[in-house]
Chain A
Amino acid sequence: MVTLNHYLVLSAILFSIGTAGVFVRRNLITILLSIEIMLNAVNLSFVAFGRALGAADGQIIVFFVMTVAAAEAAVGLAIVICLFRLRESLNPDSFVSLRW
């Protein structure tokens, strides 16, 4: 029997993987992918709650999140392309000039 807790644990694992990816990887595109994993982890918990509570709200929010994620991916990839053109690099550590 798969309970709500199983879904939530899976969601937490996915979220942690995504978070770890954001911090550990040194490639902007991989980082964007990791963010997608985090978003989908959240989506999973939304639909799990939705099912557990018998309400449609969770699924509706998931559609919103997916839409926003698509937009975010488009904008994010566009920025990445610009950054790459600027510095010939995808390493986030080469973009630290905006500091004290």
Chain B
Amino acid sequence: MLLLVPVLPLVGFLLNASLGRRLTKQVSGSVACGAILLSFLVSIAAVWQLVSLQPEERSIVQQAFTWITSGDFSVGLTFRLDPLSAVMILVVTGIGSLIHIYSTAYMHDERDREFATYFAYLNLFAAFMLVLVLGANFLVMFVGWEGVGLCSYLLIGFWFEKPSAADAGKKAFIVNRIGDFGFLLGILLVFVRFGTLDFQEVAHAVAGIGPEAAFGTLSLITLLLFIGATGKSAQIPLYVWLPDAMEGPTPVSALIHAATMVTAGVYMIGRNAALFSRAPETLTIVAIIGTATALMAGTIGLVQNDIKRVLAYSTVSQLGYMFLAMGVGAYAGGIFHLYTHAFFKALLFLASGAVIHAIGGEQDLRRMGGLKRELPLTYWTFLVGAVAIAGVPGLSGFFSKDAILYRAFAGGHTVLWSIGLLTSLLTAVYMFRLVFLVFHGERREPAAAVGGPHHLHDAPPAMALALVVLAAGSIVAGYAGLPAVLGGGDRFAQFLEPSLGAGAEDAGHAGPELTLMTVSAGVAIAGIGIAAYYFLRHRAAADALAARFSGLYRLLSNKYFVDEVYDATIVQPVRITSQEGLWKIVDVRIIDGSVNGVGQLVAGFSETLRRVQTGSVRAYAASLLLGAVAILGYYLWR
């Protein structure tokens, strides 16, 4: 049954990819939605079966076939469902289904053929993502890991006639490849060190080992795996592809670049929690990188003017949060944030997609405003998402963010905790900046002037369905992991315990936890207040602030010039060495030169030697005789 979960979307992909050009939009859309919905139902059934087992025995394994056998080493195409992958498959298929349904409306202006291609890619993505999270060993996970990277590339570049979209696709693919290389090296090192690639066997192998005191093999393995995670999950230094990935269709941004694929790195660390727990050096690096990314992306998000880019930086920032959680050992907290984030970030992206759809493709915040009245449903659902991500008490984001911040504080990482708190202030500010700029205030430019005569309309039914369900999810999802101090018992963490290892969560410090909750709730509300002051009441004050700190503003709106720095330090040197050195010298002169040189040498020799071919039979006979005499002479006088 487990096998069906990834196979169903794969079948959907095959159908749409092979027959898609002959199908109408209705048929190809239904095939894709049906495939992922069926997969969702199978996932629910599988998780139901899992939950009915004893907590210690919660693991369902299914091996499709043995993939590689060499000596006593064997890798199977094996899927394993345990609490961690259960959470992931529900998120992937559940939110994936909603986004498929949403896409049927969003992509309706495409031609039949492109519509089918789009859904084929989307189904393929779901299949690979499910392989990634269900894989029972590193190799199967790697297949999914590469597959989702491919689908991400295809979907970012979906409108490839636009050069910026094609470039963004390439950028995403290349940057991801850099991380994947680290990941692959990590996998090889796991094999060298443990002789197996199965997650459970590796966890058993390290069970008896204490944390490494100095930087050793385990630290190196985990660091390499983490490099893979920085690529896929958009962390410093490889986060640069994610904001550009917004060139793809908005539902794709929601599914791949917010809810599922980019969380693969977090999932991977959670999956290897046993390894990471024994490499404190790496964990420190993970926590620092995560926090730095959260802060950096949060500050950039404050001043961006493209609605989707703000959300993209917000995603990078929230992913940083998850890595902070992983780094301080709060694996369950990180996965919990992954799960709640999937709801509200998908919601925010889909709502922003509804806005973009409604006003004819405009993405610039400066041309929006006052859409609250025309798009009430979009407004309210977006507001729910914004409140949830800002961390207002009672919604899902609050619980998961608080779980992370509390663990960081309780673990003694006060600096990381305070930066995390600052970031959550920033989160509230930039999210409500979006809300106020898009939905409140004056209508700044008639939509008709932007996209030609265009009827301003609220989300059509398919889009509305997805928005409403996700909004409901954003509100209630957090209650699955209601912390003990609020009388919830932290069921989410307990559910994950068999996967992530015991002792990750300790209850009891009720006093500080409640205080911290109050602090972070206060911070969230303060952030909303700041946003309201600058972007709702005194918009001139925001401009004045930007003018006063114009240096800082320029730095932020140019994204810390990271792209420029990468271009100058990596892209241009590589390009120049390739073009001037490798191409014009190594390839043209050395490689081509040696081949041509051999040819010329042969030609030159032949030019001389062919003079021997005189045509005179007696000359040949004479050389024959001379040769015979010479050989005989040699043997006689030797």
Chain A interface residues (CB < 8 Å from chain B): 19, 22-23, 92-93, 95-100
Contact = CB atoms under 8 A, between A and B. Distances in A.
B622 A23 contact: yes
B602 to A, nearest CB: 16
B629 to A, nearest CB: 10
A93 B621 contact: no
Interface in B271-316: none
Nearest to A25: B618
Interface in B590-626: 610-611, 613-618, 621-622, 625
A22 B615 contact: no
Interface string B555-581: 000000000000000000000000000
Contacts of A98: 615
Given A19-B625, A23-B622, A92 B617 contact: yes
A96 B618 CA distance: 10
A92 B617 CA distance: 7
A95 to B, nearest CB: 7
Nearest to B617: A92
Contact of B618 (A92, A97, A99): A92
Contact of A95 (B611, B617, B621, B622): B617
Contacts of A100: 610-611, 613, 615
B615 A23 contact: no
A23 B618 contact: yes
Contacts of B622: 23
A72 to B, nearest CB: 15
A96 B613 contact: no
A93 B618 CA distance: 9
Per DSSP, chain A at the interface is: loop
Range for the number of chain B residues in contact with chain A:
10 to 19
Contacts of B618: 22-23, 92
Contacts of A92: 616-618
Given A99-B616, A100-B611, 9 more contacts: A22-B618, A92-B617, A95-B615, A96-B615, A96-B616, A98-B615, A99-B614, A100-B613, A100-B615
Q: Which of A92, A95, A100 has the most CB of B within 10 A?
A: A100
Contact of A23 (B610, B611, B614, B621): B621
Contacts of B610: 100
A97 B610 CA distance: 14
Contact of B621 (A22, A96, A97, A99): A22
B393 to A, nearest CB: 98
Interface in B353-384: none
B606 to A, nearest CB: 10
A39 B459 CA distance: 108
5 contacts: A19-B625, A23-B618, A92-B616, A95-B617, A98-B615
A96 B617 CA distance: 8
Q: Which of B610, B618, B621 has the most CB of A within 10 A?
A: B618
A23 B615 CA distance: 15
A95 B611 CA distance: 17
A2 B617 CA distance: 38
Nearest to A31: B618
A93 B616 CA distance: 6
A22 B611 CA distance: 23
Nearest to A19: B625
The 6 closest A-B pairs by CB, nearest first: A99-B615, A96-B615, A100-B610, A98-B615, A96-B616, A100-B613
A84 B625 CA distance: 27
A64 B617 CA distance: 26
A100 B606 CA distance: 11
A23 B619 CA distance: 9
Contacts of B611: 100
Contacts of A95: 615, 617
Contacts of A19: 625
A97 B617 contact: no
A99 B621 CA distance: 15
B550 to A, nearest CB: 82
Nearest to B619: A96
